[in-house]
Copies of this chain bind each other. A is one copy, B any other.
């Protein structure tokens, strides 16, 4: 990590403050989902974009209606999402993406994405939306923006018996590292600006 004004050296000499500073200025300790939620709240409150996470789909089987209190779900099951996790609106464009975190240091396993999600993303692109996937390599604390158009060939390669993952090197090459911002912790709008609005 590069600090301005030779601050790195100074911090290295004060062991305790290193950790504190890291916790403030890096992503460590927060999950990708938490970071994206924080980012979307920031975009919403500053009127930059309107992006929401879709609720987790639940199949509700039994509901109790106790008197004078809220209805309680007593039997429910998680359902598989039929689309991606996030969608919304930015600068008149429809935005649609999925986010995945991996502990793997050398590759991103394609099993993390479902076939129907890819089909959904293909439709979005065809109909003029902006679609992408956000991948975090937790080991490096690096988060990448992969346009859907770059993801599809890997997916079809896999379907045709090719490799079942995308190498870390390939992601560095075809993806775009997402800058960190204090309030927009995964500041993906910067990449959208560069790729789709320049």
On A, residues with C-beta under 8 Å from B are: 44, 47, 49-50, 52, 54-58, 60, 70-79, 81-83, 87-94, 96, 120, 123-124, 126-129
Contact = CB atoms under 8 A, between A and B. Distances in A.
A60 B178 CA distance: 31
B89 A50 contact: no
B77 A72 contact: yes
Nearest to A123: B50
B124 A50 contact: yes
B74 A127 contact: no
A74 B74 contact: yes
A21 B25 CA distance: 67
A76 B92 contact: no
Given A50-B129, A58-B58, 4 more contacts: A44-B123, A52-B82, A73-B73, A92-B94
Contacts of A123: 44, 47, 50
A160 B140 CA distance: 54
B71 A74 contact: no
A64 B80 CA distance: 18
Contacts of A49: 127
A71 B78 contact: yes
A186 B79 CA distance: 27
A127 B55 contact: no
Nearest to A74: B74
Contacts of A94: 88-89, 92-94
B89 A129 contact: yes
A92 B127 contact: yes
Contact of A83 (B52, B79, B90): B52
